[in-house]
Structure 1
Amino acid sequence: MAHLAACAPLGACTTKQNASLRSQSARVVPRAHHADGETQAASPALTRRGALAAGIAAASLVLDAQESGAVGFKKELKDKRRGRTRIPEEEYTKELQDGVKYVDLEEGTGEVVKKGTKVTAHYDAFFRGIDASSSRQARFLNENINLPEPYDFAAGSEIRISKSKELPLPPQALTIGVIGMKPGGKRMLLVPADPWGYGDKGYAEVPPGATIEVLIELLSIGEA
Structure 2
Amino acid sequence: MVEDDVGIGRFISHGLRARGLSVQWERVGSRVQNLAASGRFNAIILDLLLPDSDGLDLCRAIRKAELGIPILVLTARTGLDDRLDGFSAGADDYLGKPFAFLELVARVKALLARDQLRKPDPVVIGPLRIDADVDVATWDGRTIELGGRSFAMLLALARARGGVISRDELLDEIWGESIVTDNALDACASALRRSLSAVTNRAIVAAKRREGYSLHIADAGTDGGES
TM range, normalised to the smaller chain?
Answer: under 0.3
Using CA pairs under 8 Å that are at least 6 residues apart, name the structure with larger relative contact order, 1 or 2.
1
* TM-score under structure 1 length normalisation: 0.20
Q: Structure 2-normalised TM-score?
A: 0.19
- Rg comparison, structure with higher value: 1
